[in-house]
Amino acid sequence: ASLTVAEADGDERTIEAALRPRTLDEVVGQARVRDQLGLVLEAARLRGRAPDHVLLSGPPGLGKTTLAMIIAAEMSSPLRLTSGPAITHAGDLAAILSGMNEGDVLFVDEIHRMARPAEEMLYMAMEDFRVDVVIGKGPGATAIPLDIPPFTLVGATTRAGLLPGPLRDRFGFTAHLEFYEPHELDLIIHRSAGLLGVELEGEGAAEIASRSRGTPRIANRLLRRVRDYAQVKADGVVTIEVARAALDLYEVDALGLDRLDRSVLDALCRRFGGGPVGISTLAVAVGEERETVEEVAEPFLVRNGFLARTPRGRVATPAAWQHLGLAVPAAAPL
C-alpha cells in the first residue's frame, strides 16, 4: 500500500492509490469532518479502545475510502476492505467477521447494497460484538453464537438516506462529505502534480480545478489526461492553453460537466420539455442505471443549480437550458 508514484509506474489504479493522502493532516478540505474524526480517534487512542463505528456518506470520489484507510493508519490497525455488493449472504459477512482481530478496521464500501440478512447480522455485530451463525436449514437449523473481538466498522455510502434506520443508528460517528471548493481542488492538483513530477502552471491548475466537478478523484484523473496532452502535443508543461485544449478534447466542459451530466440535462430539456420527469424515466432516456443518474450525476447538477428535485419529478432550471445553448421556455417550471 505504500507504493511511491515512481514504483506505481503507469497503472492508473495504482497511481490513484499512490496519490491518496495517508494522514488526516494531508487531507485537503473537509475541515469539519477532519476535526471531528481527529477527536474521535484521539479519544479512542487515549482510552486504548477501538473507535466507534464510522459512517461516511457522499458522492463517489470525495475521499471515503481514503478516510477509512487513514482511520486504520492513525489507529495503527490493519484495514480489511469489502463492499456491500460482495456480501450476498449472511455467511459472507460471518466469514469476514470471524476472521477479525481486536481493533481491526473493517471498511464496507457501498454498505447500502448489502444483502438484508447480512445487514441484520451486522446490527448485532456492531452493537454486541457477537453474531449468530446459522447452521443447517429449515426446522433443524441451529444458531451458534460467536463472539467477535471489538472492531471498528467504517461504512461508506453515496447517500446516508439509503441505509435502513437501525443500521444508521448504530454508527457512533457519521460524516457527510461535501463537494470540494475550487481552491481546495487546486491544492490537491498541485500536490498530485508534485508527486507525479508534472510541471504545472498556476493557471493550468486553476483551469483543471474549476472543471473537476468538485471531486478530488476527477481532479487527479483530469490532471493525468492533461499531462498526456502536454507531453504529446506540447512541451510537457501544463499551461492554461494546454489544460483547456485537453479538457475540451475529453469532453469536459467549462463548468466541469461531463458527458453523462450533459446527456441528463439534454434529455430533461429536449425530450421532456424541462420536466417534471421521474428519475427512472430519465435514466432510461440516457441509457444508464437509475442509481448512476441519481448518485453520480444528480448531486452535482443539483448542487450547481442545473436541476431541481420536486415532488413531481426532476425539473431543469433556467441555467440548464442556458448551459445547453437553448432558449429558456417562457413557462419554465422554475
**Least CB distance from residue 111 to ligand ADP, whole Å?**
12
User: Coil, strand, or helix at residue 157?
Assistant: strand
- The DSSP output letter for 235 is S
* Sequence-ordered strand ranges (E) for 219-294: 237-238
22: alpha, beta or left, given left = phi > 0 and alpha = psi -120 to 50? Answer: alpha
Q: Count CA atoms within 13 Å of residue 280 on its CB side.
A: 0
User: Is residue 292 among the annotated active site residues?
Assistant: no
The region of 56-64, 122-130, 166-174, 307-315 touching ligand ADP under the rule CB under 6 A is 56-64
Give the CA angle between residues 174, 216, 282 to the nearest 5°.
80
What residues pair up with 237 in beta bridges, in sequence order?
199
Residue choice 57, 152, 157, 220 for contact with ligand ADP (CB under 6 A): 220
User: Is residue 217 among the annotated active site residues?
Assistant: yes
180 is in an annotated binding site: yes
Q: Does residue 299 interact with ligand ADP by CB under 6 A?
A: no
Contact 115, 90 (CB under 8 A): yes
Site map 173..212 versus ligand ADP, x via CB under 6 A: ---------------x------------------------
Total chain residues near ligand ADP (CB under 6 A):
20
State the Cα–Cα distance between residues 37 and 24, nearest whole angstrom.
Answer: 9
User: Is residue 64 among the annotated active site residues?
Assistant: yes
The region of 16-24, 78-86, 91-99, 234-242 touching ligand ADP under the rule CB under 6 A is 16-24
Q: How far is CA 8 from the centre of its chain?
A: 22
The region of 58-66, 114-122, 265-273, 300-308 touching ligand ADP under the rule CB under 6 A is 58-66
Q: Does residue 64 interact with ligand ADP by CB under 6 A?
A: yes
**Residue of minimal CB distance from ligand ADP?**
63
**Least CB distance from residue 63 to ligand ADP, whole Å?**
3
**Least CB distance from residue 62 to ligand ADP, whole Å?**
5
> Which of these, 71, 72, 70, 132, lies nearest to 97 by C-alpha position?
132
* Closer residue to ligand ADP (CB): 59 or 313: 59
Query: Please, which of residues 137-166 interact with ligand ADP by CB under 6 A?
Result: 156
For the chain, the straight-line distance linking the first and the last C-alpha, in angstroms and rounded, comes to 49
The region of 45-53, 54-62, 236-244, 255-263 touching ligand ADP under the rule CB under 6 A is 54-62
Q: Count CA atoms within 13 Å of residue 40 on its CB side.
A: 23
**Least CB distance from residue 331 to ligand ADP, whole Å?**
39
> Which of these, 129, 127, 119, 132, lies nearest to 85 by C-alpha position?
119
Q: Does residue 96 interact with ligand ADP by CB under 6 A?
A: no
Q: Does residue 29 interact with ligand ADP by CB under 6 A?
A: yes
170 is in an annotated binding site: yes
- Quick one: which H or E segment has residue 310? strand 307-310
Residue choice 24, 28, 118, 246 for contact with ligand ADP (CB under 6 A): 28
Q: What are the b/e assignments for 275-308, b being 16+ CB within 10 Å?
A: bbbebeebbebbebeebebbbbbbbbbeebebbb
Residues tagged active-site: 64-65, 109, 158, 217
Positions that interact with ligand ADP (CB under 6 A): 16, 19-21, 27-30, 60-66, 156, 188, 216-217, 220
